[in-house]
Amino acid sequence: MNHLRSSELFTAAKEIIPGGVNSPVRAFRSVGADPVFISKASGSHIFDADGNDYIDFVGSWGPMILGHCHPDVVAAVKRTAESGCSFGAPTELEITLAQLVIDAVPSIEMVRMVSSGTEATMSAIRLARGYTGRDKIMKFSGCYHGHSDALLVKAGSGAATFGVPDSPGVPQDFAKHTLTANYNSIESVKTLVAENSGQIACIIVEPIAGNMGTVPPQPGFLEGLRKLCSDEGIVLIFDEVMSGFRVALGGAQEVYGVVPDMTTLGKIIGGGLPVGAFGGKKEIMSLLSPSGGVYQAGTLSGNPLAMAAGIATLNLLKQPGFYQKLEEKSAYVANGIAKAAKDAGYPLFSTRVGSMFCAFFTGNQVTDWDSAAGCDTKAFATYFRSMLDEGIYLAPSQFETAFVSIAHTEAELDRTIAAAAKSFRKL
């Protein structure tokens, strides 16, 4: 494929935008390539500045569950834009979308709209601290919750080690309040809770880890977190920015039957427009300003365009049989890629929950960050470039999730599986 125009744009971008991109993974560095610049999209296809056509399994990192430019969503945004793009004041659309979210997500009794997933998780943690009067928080190695200071922390050398900043610019004084446990290890959580008794405000977790590839929770892990948090007065926060409305209408908490105290959302609830939300029990949410003393604000929170796109999207997701059709498509392509690897004699560990799936380039089981980090990233990079040449657009990292949309056709999924088979034979 010719990528001349994308190369020209990347060269120009690097002069005026740090790294040439506005979010790091877009730079394609981990796959040894330059990024393709996108010009348009439609359905399950995305087109670059050189006119190349790709079957898209990134879906803007998750929100395009209906495919790109669904006519109902486009019509809702156009209709709303004609009356104004932003008011910084309440609208009826906010109430409508909030009610759709509350009706769908088991844990949410009240919800606050924000503009991004990072803003949602940051605000939820602040609220949990205000509710409990405690300072410390716990996260899991390999789970990403946005780029706020308290969450840019990696694990130390031992389970009880206080957080170490994972980025320059994050003060140690902030990071020291963040504890890091091992995903899928309830024992590591219990150890930290025991060593910090009465000090932990919340545990925040991706119920389905999606930022080290797709890593499902092991049996008993989420249930163990729920019991421990209830026993210790700790607020349990499910970060469903990625899994919310993705794996089921009610998210991962519907799939696994574990209800957190608070939930953060994003991606799909804006239909592709910038949005985030956090919600939970009324007794917690009522502490949020202006009804309570925990402050959070945003001029673009509840932006009418995002609300309109979200309403149109969620109403389509509610249609009977939607998730069953999506499940069938997702199982078909994930199983097909796994079989293609096996037929080629290439070791692969395949995971999937709903329309989130990942092909880990390892012959070992992946259950946490340490096992994910053992993947052959060089082989993945070769695979990624080969798939791109075959017209298949994947996330440019081994440690990202692939997403299936309702717009993907069987013919497109077959083409994807065939491209994977060809790519595996090159490894």
**Pair (360, 291) in one structural domain:** no
**Pair (64, 104) in one structural domain:** no
Per-residue pLDDT in tens (0 to 9) along the chain, 427 residues:
899 999 999 999 999 999 999 998 999 999 999 999 999 999 999 999 999 999 999 999 999 999 999 999 999 999 999 999 999 999 999 999 999 999 999 999 999 999 999 999 999 999 999 999 999 999 999 898 988 877 877 532 232 334 455 677 877 777 789 999 999 999 999 999 999 999 999 999 999 999 999 999 999 999 999 999 999 999 999 999 999 999 999 999 999 999 999 999 999 999 999 999 999 999 999 999 999 999 999 999 999 999 999 999 999 999 999 999 999 999 999 999 999 999 999 999 999 999 999 999 999 999 999 999 999 999 999 999 999 999 999 999 999 999 999 999 999 999 999 999 999 999 9
**Pair (148, 297) in one structural domain:** yes
User: What integer pLDDT is reported at residue 167 of this predicted model?
Assistant: 72
Is the model's pTM score more than 0.85?
yes
User: Which residue segment(s) compose the domain that 175 sits in?
Assistant: 71-317
User: For residues 230-264, b (16+ Cβ closer than 10 Å) or e, as one string?
Assistant: eeeebbbbbbbbbbbbbbbbbbbbbbbebbbbbbb
Among 54, 56, 139, 144, the active-site one is 144
144 catalytic residue (yes or no):
yes
Report the distance separating Cα 272 and Cα 308, nearest Å: 11
Q: The domain that contains 23 carries what CATH number?
A: 3.90.1150.10
**Pair (156, 272) in one structural domain:** yes
* H-helix or E-strand spanning residue 263: strand 262-266
139 catalytic residue (yes or no):
no
Among 239, 261, 323, 393, the active-site one is 239
**Pair (260, 394) in one structural domain:** no
**Pair (156, 236) in one structural domain:** yes
**Pair (157, 274) in one structural domain:** yes
**Pair (57, 85) in one structural domain:** no
User: What integer pLDDT is reported at residue 343 of this predicted model?
Assistant: 97
**Pair (76, 64) in one structural domain:** no
Nearest CA among 396, 383, 282, 402 for reference residue 330: 402
Report the distance separating Cα 122 and Cα 150, nearest Å: 8
Question: Domain end: 317, 347, 367, which one?
Answer: 317
Cβ-contact 31, 25 below 8 angstroms: no
Q: The domain that contains 200 carries what CATH number?
A: 3.40.640.10
Among 136, 139, 267, 329, the active-site one is 267
Domain count across the chain: 2
Phi, psi dihedrals of residue 152, rounded to the nearest 5° = -90, 70
User: What integer pLDDT is reported at residue 166 of this predicted model?
Assistant: 63
Q: Is 114 left (phi over 0), alpha (psi -120 to 50) or beta?
A: beta
**Pair (82, 65) in one structural domain:** no
User: What integer pLDDT is reported at residue 64 of this predicted model?
Assistant: 98
**Pair (83, 65) in one structural domain:** no
